[in-house]
Amino acid sequence: MNKCKYISIILLFLISCTKTETVPIYDYYKNIPIIRGWTSDIEEKNYMIEVVLVYRENNTDLQTRINQLKPLLIDALRRYFSSLREIDFSFENQGKIKKEAVEILNEIVLESMIPKKADKIRQIKDLEEKDLLLDINIMQLQIFNLN
């Protein structure tokens, strides 16, 4: 019986010592249509990209802004992706592409805000604290020739 008490005390101690980490929860804006265009290569290639926007959970203000700015955001993504060459779309470069796209989209969102609020947000270093778009997920990426 004493062994059971010791084991249960040790288990309780070990359980109380484990650190519980909170995993951030995100929302996803999936209403961006597939973006089509041409790369900036000398011999242009066609691309098709499906993206999903990632932002902090329950950020209804940002979701409303995304809905309002949707045509501008799609245009900005199309312009950005069309400025890239085929090699830029490689798997190794996708982290860089995503980061640059998020920066472009966040700037459009900031430009839609009151200047004082936008300037205050720009001064925050941590992207998570800015409460803007955090990432884009590339769900589909195709580069091809129509020839």
Domain with residue 87: its CATH number is: 3.30.479.30
- Domain-embedded: residue 8: no
| CA atoms of 100 and 93, how far apart (whole Å) | 11
Q: How many CA atoms lie within 13 A of 64 on its CB side?
A: 6
Domain residue limits at 44? 25-144
Residue 143 has pLDDT above 60, yes or no: yes
- Domain-embedded: residue 41: yes
- Domain-embedded: residue 12: no
Closest by alpha carbon to 44, among 85, 94, 102? 85
- Domain-embedded: residue 5: no
In this prediction, residues 111-137 reach a mean pLDDT of 91
pLDDT for res 65:
96
pTM over 0.85: no
- Domain-embedded: residue 136: yes
Residue 5 has pLDDT above 90, yes or no: no
In this structure, of 17-21, 25-29, 53-57, 93-97, the range with the lowest mean pLDDT score is: 17-21
Confidence bin at 126 (pLDDT 50/70/90): confident
Angle between helices 94-111 and 60-82 (to 10 degrees): 120
Number of domains comprising the chain: 1
- Domain-embedded: residue 17: no
For 64-74, write each residue's pLDDT tens digit.
999 999 999 99
Q: Are 32 and 51 in contact, with CB atoms under 8 Å apart? A: yes
| CA atoms of 122 and 106, how far apart (whole Å) | 10
Q: Count of CB atoms within 10 A of residue 115's CB?
A: 9
For 21-36, write each residue's pLDDT tens digit.
566 689 999 999 999 9
- β-pairing, 26-29 with 46-56? antiparallel
- Domain-embedded: residue 116: yes
Q: For residue 53, what are the β-bridge partners?
A: 29, 136
